[in-house]
Structure 1
Amino acid sequence: MGVFRAAAVQMRSGMSPDRNAADMEALVREAAGLGATYVQTPEMTGAMVREKDAREKLFVSEDRDIVVATARRLAADLGIFLHIGSTAIRRADGKVANRALLFSPKGEVLATYDKIHMFDVDLDHGESWRESAAYEPGTQAVTAGVDGVRLGFAICYDLRFPQLFRTEALAGAEVLTVPAAFTRQTGEAHWHVLLRARAIENGAFVVAAAQGGQHEDGRETFGHSLIIDPWGRILAEADHDRPGVIVAQIDPAQSAAARGKIPNLKNARDFTLADAAGRTIERAGT
């Protein structure tokens, strides 16, 4: 692929998958019109739904999902790599995965990734979330080759687990992807600094499409979609929480250059954790 133009699509998904798919299509077409050949949408592109009974009615298998069908058609129509940051997919066992899908310019599924880390937290002001009550966590990190460029996959809360990104970088990922629906509270505190840290410590580009604003189901997300270079510089930002598109040029050679200047991926060493008496407690490291 060499140098290419990437886009992050910022959305404000509601509770109707059909309406969200239509909104997604308009924004993806806008991104392609700006020259993007890789386009990423945010976490939960298909629907943002808190109520359990509503989720049971709305979430369907991959072959019946309107966002998947729309993305497949769009990727082929526009000749782009289209990365659905995630949508809720009902698995064959009846459980629901928070799943990312990457489509080729022919509309084929190149890779899928199920979110590993569940957002089970208790925040200030009574804000509490239990993602594990609705979704089955994934168990596999995923990278995928896109015309000579390797992407590493993550979704939202995964951002707080640097070992996932390090594993993908060691596997050759030059672009790390973090589609998200960060809450406003956590986004204001940590969104920018965590994304820049993942870029810097891995010498990789980071593309992070976000949900933003007040959603139909009552939650509020931070927005501020970002594209960051391997030196931690912000190349593009949606500095608001409204739907929109940002684009930036991705040059994989910059990842190699950053890793050449600070070769921390190569310099990492295994080590042990010891107690005060020098007794080994556990082994850790690369």
Structure 2
Amino acid sequence: MKLSCKVSMIQMRVRKTKEDSLLTAGEKIKTAAKDGADFVILPEMFTCPYETENFPIYAEDENGESVRRLSSAAAENHVYLVGGSLPERDDTGKVYNTSFVFDREGRVIAKHRKAHLFDIDIKGGQFFKESDTLTPGDKATVFSTEFGMIGLCICYDIRFPELFRRMVEDGANMVFCPAAFNRTTGPRHWELLFRSRAVDNQIFVAGVSPAADESASYIAYGHSILVSPWGEILYEAEEDETVLTKTIDLTEVERAREQLPLLKHRRKEIY
């Protein structure tokens, strides 16, 4: 297993058309690849305005144009590409919030359907109900690379520590999370949740958000973030568009677990 890797987080605004979003993503993937990225991560719903009524309109099947374009981008730039997330329609017409992962040759090596749907109503803040148009996924997702096993989740999934523990038990030493927190939940919980999941499981965790768009009905918080197994924030963006690239030392996972053996100290007989 290789002991270090470069992670690039692409924080971009959703464009007015799907085509423009895909073109923008393609250019930013090239930028990340030129900087030596091994993993490139796009934001949640990066081609679709974040509104429940848009998800069925923008939905494609797993062999649709967006997946084909992302596959080509991964192969052309020889990177692992976490394709943010897209509205995916299955053969029965159900729509999912889905993240596809591509290897360096452009092959799909993982697919995660958001397991926990964002149905909230915060007094004086955000109201959103993904279940109006989306169906939840039913699996924890990990995939294999030369850097070890990587976990994958989407946005609201991060609030459920059980899902993270399942990914870690399946071997994950790093988890990528395309996400679109907003200005109600972001300031309160964004850093807290990413640092908590990293410390709970002694893994690297990366959260990749769309950039803020003041003209959108749903304004993303931005602040894409990379956290170490010790809970240290290694990189955090502001709200604007950016590509953040960081080299991480994967041996830090084992060092953290040796020095503070949380996983070994679990009492499975009582919980």
| TM-score of the two chains, using structure 2 as the length reference | 0.95
Aligned residue in 2 for 1:58: 58
CA distance in 1, matches of 2:180, 2:214: 11
* Amino acid of the structure 1 residue aligned with 2:247: Q
Q: Does the C-alpha gap of structure 1 residues 215 and 45 become closer, same or farther in structure 2, counting only changes over 3 Å?
A: farther
Q: Distance in 1 between matches of 2:56 and 2:148?
A: 37
CA RMSD of aligned residues (A): 1.5
Superposition deviation, residue 241 in structure 1 = 1.1
Read off the aligned partner of 1:62 and give its amino acid letter: E
How far did residue 51 of structure 1 move?
Answer: 5.7
Aligned twin of 2:40: 39
Give the secondary-structure state (helix, strand or coil) at the position aligned to 1:248.
Answer: strand
Contact 1:50 1:217 in 2 (8 A): no
Partner residue, 1:277: none
Distance in 2 of aligned mates of 1:97 and 1:80:
25
CA contact (8 A) 1:65 1:89 kept: no
| Contact in 2 for aligned 1:8/1:40 (Cα 8 Å) | yes
Runs of 4+ in structure 1 deviating by more than 6 angstroms, as ranges, are: none
1:241 pairs, out of 239, 242, 245, with 239
Per the alignment, residue 123 of structure 1 pairs with 122
Distance 2:197 2:125 in 1: 29
**Counterpart pick for 1:268 among 263, 266, 269:** 266
Residues 207, 226 of structure 2: 8 Å contact kept: yes
When structure 1 is superposed on structure 2, of 35-44 and 211-220 the one drifting more is: 211-220
Q: Is the 8 A contact 2:44 2:178 kept in 1?
A: yes
Quote how far apart the aligned CAs of 1:65 are: 3.1
Q: In 2, distance between residues paired with 1:74 and 1:7?
A: 14
Equivalent residue, structure 1, for 2:110 = 111
Distance in 2 (alpha carbons) for counterparts of 1:126 and 1:258? 38
Cα displacement (A) at 1:216: 5.3
Counterpart position of 1:278: none
Say which SS state the counterpart of residue 112 (structure 2) adopts: strand
User: What is the alpha-carbon distance in structure 1 between the residues aligned to residue 148 and residue 214 of structure 2?
Assistant: 35
Q: Is the 8 A contact 2:100 2:108 kept in 1?
A: yes
Question: Match of 1:282?
Answer: none
One-letter code of the match for 1:201?
A: D
Which residue is 2:204 aligned to? Answer: 205
8 Å contact kept, 2:56–2:95: no
What is the SS of the residue equivalent to 1:175?
strand
The 3-state SS of whatever aligns with 2:243 is strand
Distance 2:25 2:214 in 1: 15
Structure 2, unmatched stretches of 5+, are: none
| Corresponding residue pairs, total | 270
| DSSP 3-state at the match of 1:194 | helix
Percent of aligned pairs with the same amino acid: 32
Query: Helix, strand or coil: the match of 1:106?
Result: coil
- Distance in 2 of aligned mates of 1:252 and 1:268: 23
Give the CA deviation at 1:155: 0.5
Aligned partners of 1:9 and 1:111: how far apart in 2? Answer: 19
Looking at structure 1, the residues matched to 134 and 52 of structure 2 have their Cα atoms a distance apart, in angstroms, of 13
Equivalent residue of 2:165, what SS? Answer: helix
Question: Secondary structure of 1:212's partner?
Answer: coil
Give runs of aligned pairs for residues 138-177 of structure 1, distance below 5 A.
138-177=137-176
Task: Report if the CA contact (8 A) 1:15-1:49 is conserved.
Answer: no
In structure 2, relative to structure 1, the CA distance for the partners of 1:87 and 1:55 (3 Å cut) is closer
| SS of the residue 1:69 aligns to | helix
What is the letter of the counterpart of residue 63 of structure 1? N
- Higher Rg: 1
SS class of match (1:168):
helix
Cα distance per residue 1:229-259 (max 9 Å; x no partner): 1111111111x11111111112221101111
Structure 1 equivalent of residue 135 of structure 2: 136
